[in-house]
């Protein structure tokens, strides 16, 4: 019994320790914003890498999510004659919830893994030490541009996801479920508020930060060659996904339940 409690306690303290280290890493990296030099070229490269190159995967996922959402909600709502709410459900679900979460998770898989692998490889091949010997702060050069790019580009990415998700719902609603296009669009507009979209984009920004932070943190602290880099990549994706879903609950509670 005692050893069981000890194991739980050790696990809990390990979790607290890891959270503290992640927090300090984020703080140390963000503090670099206050003082030059700034690496604009590196930041721009990350904006393109994270934002532009994630467009196909996020867009495609959002499109099909919107389509499935329309189908599923139609089937469910038909049971109590509320089919007309399909458009409202699709647009609110996409903007408030699914756009940011699906976008965040897809970017975690694509970008978080790539960041952890790239920085992890740099760590185990001495490239990060080489940066220091070349009078370049690795947190400023490697981590800060990625954090800023994640923070700034995810909202735009999710905005595209929102539009494509709603469009997917519209396609299914009008071509498969027989809704009148004008009536569907009218329903889409009727109950949508600016707050739904904006707070969804704020969520996206938080998720972008989480994805890039965990990718950078895991890569930066990887050790032990190829196996260590592989482990860092796995941890980056898993921890980003868990943190996205965890923070999504608290953000939803803070934004939408008052």
Kindly give the residue spans of alpha helices, DSSP state H, lying in 172-224: 181-190, 194-220
CB of 145 vs another protein, minimal distance in Å? 12
CB of 257 vs another protein, minimal distance in Å? 43
Cβ proximity to another protein, 33 vs 183, nearer residue:
33
Total count of residues recorded for the chain: 258
Cα(243)–Cα(209) distance, integer angstroms: 11
CB of 248 vs another protein, minimal distance in Å? 33
CB of 136 vs another protein, minimal distance in Å? 5
- Give CA separation, 66 vs 92, 128, 130, 227, in Å: 11, 42, 47, 38
Contacts of 4 by beta carbon, 8 Å cutoff, 6+ apart: none
Cβ proximity to another protein, 126 vs 193, nearer residue:
126
Q: Within 10 A of 233 (CB to CB), how many other CB atoms are there?
A: 23
Cβ proximity to another protein, 31 vs 75, nearer residue:
31
Q: Which residues bind another protein (CB under 8 A)?
A: 37, 39, 118, 122, 125-127, 129-130, 132-137, 141
Cβ proximity to another protein, 42 vs 202, nearer residue:
42
- Give CA separation, 179 vs 72, 84, 116, in Å: 15, 9, 46
CB of 134 vs another protein, minimal distance in Å? 4
Are 147 and 212 in contact, with CB atoms under 8 Å apart? Answer: yes
Cβ proximity to another protein, 34 vs 134, nearer residue:
134
């Amino acid at each position: 019994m005692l050893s069981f409690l000890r194991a739980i306690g050790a696990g809990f303290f390990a979790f607290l320790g890891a959270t503290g280290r992640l927090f300090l890493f984020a703080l140390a990296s963000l503090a670099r914003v206050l003082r030059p030099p700034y690496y604009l070229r590196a930041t721009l490269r990350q904006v393109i890498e994270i934002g532009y190159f994630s467009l196909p995967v996020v867009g495609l996922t959002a499109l099909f999510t919107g389509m499935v959402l329309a189908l599923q909600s139609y089937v469910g709502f038909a049971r109590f004659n509320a089919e007309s709410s399909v458009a409202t459900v699709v647009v609110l679900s996409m903007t408030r919830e699914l756009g940011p979460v699906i976008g965040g998770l897809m970017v975690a898989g694509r970008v978080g893994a790539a960041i952890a692998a790239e920085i992890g490889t740099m760590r185990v091949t001495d490239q990060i030490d080489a940066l220091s010997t070349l009078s370049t702060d690795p947190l400023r050069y490697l981590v800060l541009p990625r954090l800023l790019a994640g923070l700034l580009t995810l909202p735009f990415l999710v905005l595209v996801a929102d539009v494509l998700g709603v469009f997917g719902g519209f396609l299914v609603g009008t071509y498969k479920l027989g809704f009148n296009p004008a009536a569907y669009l009218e329903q889409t507009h009727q109950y949508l508020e600016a707050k739904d979209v904006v707070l969804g984009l704020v969520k996206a920004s938080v998720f972008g930060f989480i994805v890039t932070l965990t990718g950078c943190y895991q890569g930066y602290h990887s050790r032990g060659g190829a196996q260590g880099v592989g482990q860092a990549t796995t941890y980056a994706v898993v921890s980003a996904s868990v943190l996205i879903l965890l923070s999504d609950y608290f953000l939803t509670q803070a934004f939408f339940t008052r």
